[in-house]
Structure 1
Amino acid sequence: MSLPKIAEIQTLTNTDLENEILSIKKQLFKLRLCRATKQSFKSHQFKHAKHRLGQLLMIQKSN
């Protein structure tokens, strides 16, 4: 699985962008919760979620 591409999110509207940011933050919270409670999770998902969140925030600030 490759990292998400920024071209995919440049066409989103502001409301879609905010919803996507919120869902990524929820996903990161769930991943941290899984790590803290020693449940199984895929560690590469942290990298992908953080990368995606950075892209979304960058696009949001440029709008």
Structure 2
Amino acid sequence: MSTFTVRGSFQGRDGWEQFEKDVEAENENVAEERTFADFGSKHGLKRTQVEIEEVEGR
């Protein structure tokens, strides 16, 4: 597995907020899916409330 850095923004109480998150995944698509799942489970956000701008492998 590789480590990917996922950057983007999510809809918070005070508007859109930036985030940067390190995710271990097999490829970029899986890293995106894990990011969506994490925001959904921890913050109760839907996919439409999370915008991923960049996925960068390390």
Please state which band the TM-score falls in when normalised by the shorter chain: 0.3 to 0.5
TM normalised by structure 1 equals: 0.31
Structure 1 or 2: more helix by fraction? 1
Higher alpha-carbon Rg: 1
Structure 1 or 2: more strand by fraction? 2
